[in-house]
């Protein structure tokens, strides 16, 4: 079914957003206007407080002193490209009318990672646009989803956008005088991402915040948020601009200037001083550090044996979803991504693959009873340890849809997952065997 322009205009899709960005409102105080009357341009960036959410949205607020006289009842200022003008609020004067030079920018842009909920399915991928249907790039190609079947859209990660500033003109009927004008708005913003540096030898952890593609932004308070607000989607699509983050070397003794607080469902980090940035730059700031609890483990379910670590968050801060860089002293060992990990929670990250440990799997029993439409299979798993030291390895298999008949050694079972913790001598082998059955 094709989505009409009228239906598209009224389509509201609920979004859960963990978001980010650093933005500005460009102003110059010249009598009653923020615009320089000689050049017609904004002279400086304005943002007293920049709140960057976990996955692509930013909330900006600032204050300006303005002077109104008998001949001037209009105030002009700029918002950055990507600002959601419907979220613009002004207080301190009586507002008659607000006029902007651009239409409202949508929340979802081409390249954003979204999850689309329909009446009978859930799809996650990169948003490509609307062509009568919503076009979504997934791992195996492009799918088309009729708009009338969409029940919810969750915005997971936004791409950066770039374009001309938005001119805002405010008409007021406030009497002549001096006023303190308070301005705030939401926008698609640059992204902040946490990166964790962990020394395997000491379990020492540092979290750095990377803030990418900032605007001109002077003397502002920075707040980074690990959670995201609830937002409604409506409107057309605009093109993205994508920037690349830089890499910073691990520092074992950084200076930390962030204060951690919790507000409702959000965990916030507020920088202790004022910050200034230049447009197009990438900034890295240390967020917090401490000692986590690590447990090394070899793991196999198929393919190569994984050398992975359980990260038990014993710090006083939750770990936002991000990338973990593993070091052993000064030597880089590997990296992986982790999901949001609350205090006292645990995540598992792969550091490398253990090529000296080989696991093979073979079907050693196979019985088909066509009369009773019944099947039985026996699976043998052999672990070969080529190392000079004894190892312990966790083996997992999923038998979803099948019934376990027997297992040796006895398996631990959680739902449809079977697991065995096996000790294998240096230059030795160990074997796991299990049987399952099913009726057709």
H helix or E strand, kind and range, residue 7: helix 5-10
Span 393-413, mean pLDDT? 96
277 touches 217 (CB < 8 A):
yes
pLDDT digits (tens, 9 = 90+) for 322-361: 999 999 999 999 999 999 999 999 999 999 999 999 999 9
Q: Which residue has the higher pLDDT, 283 or 3?
A: 283
Residues 6+ apart with CB under 8 A from 410: none
Instruction: Work out the mean pLDDT of the chain and round it to a whole number.
Output: 81
pLDDT tens by residue, 60-89: 999 999 999 887 788 999 888 878 888 899
Residues 398 and 323 in one domain: no
- As a whole number, mean pLDDT of residues 109-126 equals 85
7 and 33 belong to one structural domain? yes
pLDDT, tens digit, 9 for 90 and up, residues 425-434: 999 999 999 9
139/133 Cα distance (integer angstroms): 19
Asked if residue 215 is part of any domain, the answer here is no
**In this structure, are 127 and 236 located in the same domain?**
yes
In a domain, 316, yes or no: yes
Residue of 263 and 306 predicted with greater confidence: 306
How much is the pTM?
0.73
361 domain residue, yes or no: yes
* Statement: residue 247 has pLDDT above 90: no
230/319 same-domain check: no
The boundaries of the domain holding residue 102 are 1-189+220-243
What total of structural domains would you count in the chain?
3
Last residue of a domain, one of 353, 370, 399: 353
- Residue 106 burial by CB count (10 A; 0-12/13-18/19+): exposed, middle or buried? middle
What does 197-210 look like in DSSP terms, one character per residue?
Answer: EEETTTTEEEEEEE
376 lies in some domain: yes
Encoded tokens for 176: 């002549």
**Considering the domain boundaries, does residue 68 fall inside one?**
yes
Distance CA(23)–CA(87), nearest Å, equals 14
Q: 146 with 26, same domain? A: yes
Other beta carbons within 10 angstroms of residue 104's beta carbon come to 16
- Same domain? For 177 and 132 the reply is yes
- Choose the final residue of a domain: 353, 377, 394: 353
Indicate whether 341 and 361 sit together in one domain.
no
Cα–Cα distances in Å, from 253 out to 256, 329, 346?
A: 9, 14, 25
Residues 312 and 416 in one domain: no
**pLDDT cut 70: percent of the chain above it:** 79
pLDDT at 153: 79
Among the candidates 353, 387, 421, a domain finishes at 353
* DSSP string for 357-389: EEEEEEEEEEEEETTTTEEEEEEEEEEEE-SSS
Residue 263 maps to a domain: no
If asked whether residues 364 and 337 sit together in one domain, one would say no
> What is the rounded distance in angstroms from the CA atom of residue 396 to the CA atom of residue 386?
21
Region 86-105: mean pLDDT is 84
Q: Quick one: 136 and 32 in the same domain?
A: yes
How large a percentage of the chain has pLDDT more than 90?
47
* Per-residue confidence (pLDDT) for residue 400, from 0 to 100: 93
Q: How confident is the model at residue 105 (pLDDT cuts 50, 70, 90)?
A: low
Spatial contact of 20 and 52, defined as CB atoms under 8 Å apart: yes
Say yes or no: 413 and 299 in one domain: no
Specify the pLDDT at position 171: 93
pLDDT over 80 at 26, yes or no: no
Per the domain annotation, does 210 fall within a domain? no
Measured from the Cβ of residue 250, the count of other Cβ atoms closer than 10 Å reads 16
φ, ψ of residue 345 to 5 degrees: the values are: -90, 175
Verify that 363 and 330 share a domain, yes or no.
no
Is-contact 113 137, C-beta < 8 A? no
Q: Is residue 205 part of a domain?
A: no
């Amino acid at each position: 079914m094709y989505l009409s322009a009228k239906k598209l205009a009224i389509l509201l899709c609920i979004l859960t957003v963990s978001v980010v960005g650093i933005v500005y409102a460009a102003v110059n105080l010249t009598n009653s206007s923020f615009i320089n009357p000689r050049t017609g341009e904004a002279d400086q960036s304005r943002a007293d407080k920049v709140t960057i959410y976990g996955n692509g949205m930013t909330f900006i607020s600032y204050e300006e002193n303005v002077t109104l006289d008998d001949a001037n009842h209009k105030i002009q200022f700029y918002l950055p490209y990507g600002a959601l003008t419907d979220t613009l609020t002004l207080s301190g004067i009586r507002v008659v009318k607000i006029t902007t030079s651009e239409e409202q920018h949508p929340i979802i842009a081409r390249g954003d990672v979204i999850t689309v909920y329909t009446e009978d399915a859930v799809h996650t991928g990169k948003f490509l646009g609307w062509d009568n249907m919503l076009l979504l790039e997934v791992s195996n190609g492009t799918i088309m989803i009729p708009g009338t079947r969409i029940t919810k859209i969750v915005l997971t990660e936004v791409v950066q956008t770039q374009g001309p500033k938005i001119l805002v003109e405010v008409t007021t009927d406030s009497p002549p005088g001096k006023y303190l004008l308070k301005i705030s708005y939401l926008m698609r913003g640059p992204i902040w991402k946490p990166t964790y540096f962990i020394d395997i030898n000491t379990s020492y952890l540092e979290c750095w915040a990377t803030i990418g593609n900032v605007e001109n932004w002077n003397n502002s308070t920075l707040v980074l948020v690990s959670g995201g607000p609830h937002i409604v989607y409506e409107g057309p699509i605009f093109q993205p601009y994508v920037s690349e983050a830089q890499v910073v070397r691990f520092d074992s003794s950084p200076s930390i200037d962030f204060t951690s607080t919790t507000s409702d469902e959000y965990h916030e980090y507020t920088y202790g001083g004022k910050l200034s940035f230049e447009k197009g730059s990438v900034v890295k700031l240390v967020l917090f550090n401490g000692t986590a609890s690590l447990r090394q483990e070899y793991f196999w379910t198929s393919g190569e044996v994984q050398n992975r670590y359980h990260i038990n968050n014993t710090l006083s801060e939750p770990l936002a979803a991000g990338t973990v860089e593993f070091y052993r002293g000064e030597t880089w060992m590997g990296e992986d991504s982790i999901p949001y990990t609350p205090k006292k929670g645990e995540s598992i990250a792969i550091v490398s693959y253990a090529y000296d440990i080989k696991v093979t799997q073979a079907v050693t029993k196979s019985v088909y009873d066509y009369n009773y439409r019944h099947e039985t299979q026996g699976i043998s798993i052999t672990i070969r340890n080529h190392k000079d030291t004894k190892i312990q390895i966790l083996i997992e298999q999923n038998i979803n849809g099948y019934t376990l008949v027997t297992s040796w050694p006895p398996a631990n079972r959680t739902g449809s997952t079977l697991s065995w913790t096996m000790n294998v001598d240096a230059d030795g082998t160990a074997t796991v065997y299990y049987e399952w059955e099913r009726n057709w």
